[in-house]
Structure formats: structure tokens, C-alpha cells
Structure 1
Amino acid sequence: MIEVLTIGRVGVDIYPREVGSRLEDVETFGKFLGGSATNVAVAAARLGKRAAVITRTGNDPFGRFVHRALRDFGVDDEWVVAVPDLPTPVTFCEIFPPDEFPLYFYRLPIAPDLCIEPAEIPADVVRAVPIYWSTLTGLSRQPSRDAHRHAWEVRRRTDHTVIDLDYRPMFWDDVSDARAAAGEALSHCTIAIGNRDECEVAVGERDPERAAAALLDRGVRIAVVKQGPRGVLVRTDRESEVIPAVSVDVVNGLGAGDAFGGAFCASLLDGLPVVDAVRRANAAGAMVAARLECSAAMPTSAELDAFVEDAGGRR
């Protein structure tokens, strides 16, 4: 049985091997599986969970690479379907630690992962899976928007239904469209995760406490607000706690949020209390921030256990 099912972005990350260089000067790149929802599935699978992703690729060599990489990471690719006339997206980045990692998305005329049709949603799996994870980006275009709506209708706000408030302005015509989509998503989900900027888009609040309160007012049961070096706020109707940031030498911060997501899912499946699940997820994010890759950098359970024990929180 699938334990973590994600839906959304997939692609191929083309990341420079040369840290601190602009793309026009880079001569050596690495090729990695990418896309936020896909990375979350990979992160959960690396931690021993049965994970799958609903997405679409092009019918091209990069699409074949996506299937092979998913299988190599232990992620079920049954619901990864090719779109005949569109290319598999590629994403380039520049790496300037500790906090400058500009992304360049090549997803035109439309990314295949925004062409997921409602009929492609495996309703029985969506209904039964312990954790169902979607992202705000999936609501930015049709037919993906209707596919997400259909999945939520099937699921009926069952725990744990997660919305990653993953807001990237280049995917939207206007921020007001993203705000409306976030409001719709929150009405279907039980867990919301986002950074301060994303919370401001979703609920109009940047202050972590007010943002978390606003998310709970929208009906979610767990609100997670990431604050960068100030840590992570997790709030439910019973508790509120800030988990301190873990100190690492940052190499590439782009995969940290997806590592956080996969580890959070795995920790909930392991029965950890919510605050402890966020604490472990925070450590996984720190581990990946100290590595170059995203999907290929996701820690195994043994690696994460050793890091947590050795770091002692490394606050």
C-alpha cells in the first residue's frame, strides 16, 4: 500500500558543479531528478516509506530519465504519464551560498505536470493513502487545477491532507490568483506548510504567529511556518512551538524544503508527535542544505538518525 502520495511538479535539474559562478560562465553541470512534489516523494522513499507521485513528463529522453530515476529511488511511477507534444521541463540554478540560489525554469509553452487530467487521479489510492501531498503550483493552470479539485473531493479532507504553499510568482499571472487558489486549497487540507512569504500570499500575514493562527482559522489542523535561520513554528489548536534552526555550512538551499516535507511525512507515519515530526524534518532539511543536489541528497533513515544524534540539534 502506498503511504505517501504526492502530486505536482517534475523535471530535470541541471545544476552547476561550479559553486559561485554565473550560468554564462559555468562549464560543468550535473543532471538530477527534480520538481518539488517529486522530491518530497523521493525524500519519503529514502526514509523507508512507500511513496508515489502523480505527474506527467514529455515523451522524450528526459522523460525516460525521470522514470528511471524514480524507480532507482524506490518511488512508484505508475501514475507518471507522458504528454506527447511537450518537452520534459528542465530547471537551471546558480549557487551562491549561503542564501542566493536563483532558479531558471524552462516550462513553456506549458509544463506536462500542469496537464494532469482529473481522469488520471487514482481515486481509490487518493482516498486511502495515509498522506496526500499537493502544492499551490498545481493550481496555477488547467487542467491540473481541476485534477487537484477532483482529488480533494475524493479525499474529503481526510488526515493527513497536506498543502505545500509553494508559491513561485513566475507560475502565476497575478498574485491575487495565487491567493484565491491558496484559499481554496486550505478549505480542503488538514496541514499547511509554507515560509513567511508564502503565508503572506495565502492568508495575508507574514508574522509567523499571526500566519499560523490564520491558517488554523481556515480549517487546517497543523500549521507549519518556516522562518529560515529563526527556525520553524509549528502550531495546532493544542500547542505552539518554535523549533530552532540547525546550524550547517549551506551549499545549496534549494532542496531543503522538500527534504523537510518528506521527513515530516515519514515522521508522522512513524507515529511521532507533531512537534517531534517537525524537529526531525528540520534536521533533514539542514542535511540537504549542506549538499549540492536535491533528490540525490535526500538522507536515508540511518543518515538522518546519525545526524540528529551527532548534531544534538546543532542549534
Structure 2
Amino acid sequence: MTTQPRIALIGECMIELQHRADGSLHQSFGGDTLNTAVYLRRELGAVGTVDYVTALGDDSFSDAMCQQWADEGLGLGMVQRLPGRLPGLYCIQTDAHGERKFLYWRNEAAVRDCFTTPAAEPILAALPGYDLVYFSGITLAVLGEIGRERLLQALAETRRRGGRVVFDNNYRPRLWADVEAARAAYRKVMAEVDIALLTEDDEQALFGYADSEQVFAAYPAITEVVLKRGADECRIRCDGARVAVPALKVEKVVDTTAAGDSFSAAYLAARLKGASPQEAAWAGHRLASRVIQVPGALIPRG
């Protein structure tokens, strides 16, 4: 990998509403791959470039998103702006234990046409030029069948040219017509993945795997498999070697939103800078432990 890697993250950013205890709503922006993009940019410092790949509308919320991303140092050259369209919206409701419930309004979100418009052609053509391409199970769901097929072609070309593909499983049943449709889509893309960042609970929900061993056994061809297991140790298989790294305990969990996204970002940043899988997992746990002590997906910089 080059010392100044070019990284593209593909997915959806939504308008985020945080439901506060007093009944008020705090508005911000969030989405799994966008959260990872922001934290990856912060963790990398001056190393490389991080571009976000998505589609937005031509509205004021989309304008504000782009401004926030630019302020975070993300590249906007792969962001489409579709006239008359809007971003999706979601609301986070958090219980006394920090566990969250999500309510979504996203059926007409612009990102659903991210790879089906004429403007998508140069973006799809540019993706294989990146050193690292990252996407998630949510990306797969919102792109739709045509978008997924076009993404798959771009991923295969990325690898053919020497780039690496990273996938975070983030399985959300409500985004799929049924579990079989999700399984088929996941199996197709997993054949083009170099680094799999998998939440073990999601693997169990999607494929019925009973434990970590079954998950590892399901992906013999993937060089680096990282199993995220919430407050329990993460387990990693990299180049045939295994390592387990305990999570960091925190005194009070405020909001678990973006815990996995931030772990993935810090893990990848550390690996890109030459850290071992074990060192990278420590970095992931450190950032995630900070994120879950603050409301919302993106904690303040610094």
C-alpha cells in the first residue's frame, strides 16, 4: 500500500435527529459509512486522501452536509447532487442503558440512484483507481439491485488493478425484501473482499452462524477477517494467524451509535499506517470507547 493511500467510502449520509430526554430533537448528520469516513480522516491525520461517494439532493440539508464533510477534510469530488431529491432522515431514541432504536424515512433518498444516473458513469470508472474502497451492508441495501451489480463490477476492477476492498457487514433486516435477498447480495460481494469487518451478531442474524468459528470458516478466501463483538473481545484472523483483543470498559455508556463505525475507522487507519492487527484493534477499541460516552454518531474533534 502506498504511503499516501487514496481511499473511497461508499454509502449514505442521512439527516439525524436525536430524541432528547426533555422531548426536544437535536439535528445533525450521520450514516454508517459517513461516520467511518469522518473518523478515518481524523485518525489518519495528514496521511492519504479520503473521499466520500454518495448522492444527495440540491436542498439546504444537502448543502450543509457537504460543508460539514469539507470541514472534516473529506473529498467531495465523488458526491452527486440530484435536482429535486432529498437525503434520507432517521431519528435515534436511546434508552436508560444507552441502547438505541432507529426510526427511518429513506424510501425516496437520492442515494438510491447513486449508481444508476448518467452522472454515475465517471464515478464508477474512477473507483478502481483507489487504493482502498470501503462499503457496508447498508450500502448494498440502499443501492438496489442495479446499483449493486454496478458496484460489484467496480470492486472486481479495483482488485484487478491492485486496490483492496473493505466490507463492513452492517446487516439491517428492515432494508431488505427478505433474508434470502440479503444473503444472495452479501455472498456475491464477499467474493470481492480483502478485509471483512464483521459484527458477529449481524452474521448470526443473517446466516445463522452459531459462533466465531463458524464465521471464520465461512470466509476462507478473505485474508483479513475482524469480528466485532460489542463489549466483548474482538477476534481477528489475518494471514492465517489468530488474535483476540479485549474491549475497553467504560463507566457509563451514553449512546452506542457509531461504536462499530468508529472501531472500523481506527482499525483501518492503524493498519494503513503499518500497525499489526492487534495494535489496530486496540486503536479501534480506544476510539469506540470514547464515542459511546457521547450522544450522537460523531463526537467533537479533539
Compute the TM-score of the two structures, normalised by the length of structure 1.
0.85
- Name 2:128's counterpart in structure 1: 127
Report the CA distance between 1:125 and its aligned residue: 4.6
Question: 2:37·2:74 contact (CA, 8 Å) conserved in 1?
Answer: yes
Q: Which amino acid aligns with 2:154?
A: A
Map Cα deviations across residues 167-207 of structure 1 (whole Å, 9 max, x no partner).
Answer: 11111000111111111111001111121222125554140
1:186 corresponding residue in structure 2: 190
1:299–1:243 distance in 2 versus 1, CA, 3 Å: farther
Task: Name the counterpart of 1:269.
Answer: 272
Match of 1:195 in 2: 199
Partner of 2:109: 111
Q: Amino acid of the residue matched to residue 31 of structure 2?
A: G
- Structure 2 vs 1, CA of residues 106 and 173 (structure 1 numbering), >3 Å: closer, same or farther? same
| Structure 2: gaps (5+ residues) | none
Instruction: Work out the CA distance in 2 between the residues paired with 1:131 and 1:114.
Output: 23
What aligned pairs does 1:156-175 form with structure 2 within 5 A after superposition?
156=159, 158=162, 160-175=164-179
Paired residue type of 2:36: V
Mapped to 2, the partners of 1:275 and 1:288 lie a distance apart of 20
Q: Tell me the CA shift for residue 252 of structure 1.
A: 0.7
CA contact (8 A) 1:2 1:52 kept: no
* Equivalent residue number for residue 207 of structure 1: 211
Change (3 A) 1:2 1:26: farther
RMSD of aligned alpha carbons:
2.1
CA distance in 2, matches of 1:142, 1:98: 37
Structure-1 residue corresponding to 2:8? 5
Matches of residues 41-190 of structure 1 in structure 2 within 5 Å?
41-47=37-43, 48=45, 49=47, 50-108=49-107, 110-117=108-115, 119-120=120-121, 122=123, 125-140=126-141, 141-156=144-159, 158=162, 160-190=164-194
Comparing 127-136 with 74-83, greater Cα deviation is found at 127-136
Amino acid at match of 2:41: A
Q: Does 1:32 align with 2:28?
A: yes
Preserved CA contact (<8 Å) 1:179 1:201: no
Instruction: Give the partner amino acid of 1:112.
Output: A
Q: 1:75/1:236 Cα in 2 relative to 1: closer, same or farther (>3 Å)?
A: same
Change (3 A) 1:85 1:206: farther
CA distance in 2, matches of 1:120, 1:30: 37
Using the alignment, how far apart are the partners of 1:224 and 1:121 within structure 2?
Answer: 32
- 1:16-63 residue CA offsets vs partner (Å, 9 max, x unmatched): 3x2xx4xxx612x22222111111111111121421110011221111
CA distance in 2, matches of 1:34, 1:278: 23
Change (3 A) 1:190 1:243: same
CA deviation map 1:243-297 (0-9, x unaligned): 11111121110111111121122111111112211221121111111111213x1
Give deviations 1:210-259, integer Å, cap 9, x for gaps: 212222x2x21111111112121111243112211111121110111111
Structure 2: distance between partners of 1:279 and 1:89: 33
Give the structure 1 partner of residue 234 of structure 2. Answer: 232
**C-alpha distance in structure 1 between counterparts of 2:241 and 2:133, whole Å:** 23
Relative distance call for 1:174 and 1:298 in structure 2 (3 A) is farther
Number of corresponding residues = 289
Partner SS, residue 265 of structure 2: helix
Is the partner of 1:65 in helix, strand or coil?
Answer: helix
Q: Helix, strand or coil for the counterpart of 1:283?
A: helix
Of the structure 1 ranges 126-135 and 174-183, higher mean CA displacement relative to structure 2 is found in: 126-135
Judge conservation of contact 2:15–2:89 (CA < 8 Å) in 1: yes
The share of aligned pairs that are identical, in percent, is 24
CA contact 1:127–1:154 (8 Å) conserved in 2 = yes
Unaligned runs of 5+ in 1: 301-315
- Contact 2:115–2:124 under 8 Å retained in 1: no
Residues 131, 299 of structure 1: alpha-carbon distance in 2 compared, 3 angstrom cutoff: farther
C-alpha contact (below 8 Å) 1:43/1:298 kept by paired residues: no
Aligned counterparts of 1:240 and 1:298: Cα–Cα separation in 2 = 34
Structure 2-normalised TM-score? Answer: 0.88
Partner of 2:86, secondary structure, is coil
